[in-house]
Structure 1
């Protein structure tokens, strides 16, 4: 059995679309908007791309920001039918191991 979870993310005229093209549990489509405003996104990218050098606190802050933004993005995309397919696919793969 193919245990892959093929997720396609697309920018649309109305926002974004997540499509599970293939998974052990089936297929699904979900429209979503980014969980942050353009200004916040731009500021975050600038901060993440800034050279932290030897400043451990700045590296820690960059890491925390990346985790926070990534978590928000994951929670936005993996909701509703996409999350249900992810959980069911994971459950099936786990049981088949």
Structure 2
């Protein structure tokens, strides 16, 4: 959807996942600071990389496409994808 909108109006959709209220790209360091601050307020220790694992786990649960997920996550070896996501997805599904 974002790609289609970007073709129609390039300035409408940011290519970055994390953007500020003004639409500028947030740096990895800034995102880590935001996670740390949110964790202090909620009492939950989380890291931005946990979003990647959550996405991968639920993507596998919903699609059962290990090859596609491996490509999406940028893994050279499908066994890496299997190691990180299939076991966790299995546990989550119970």
TM-score band (shorter)?
Answer: under 0.3
| More strand by percentage | 1
TM-score, with structure 1 as normaliser? 0.24
| More helix by percentage | 2
| Higher RCO (CA < 8 A, seq sep 6+) | 1
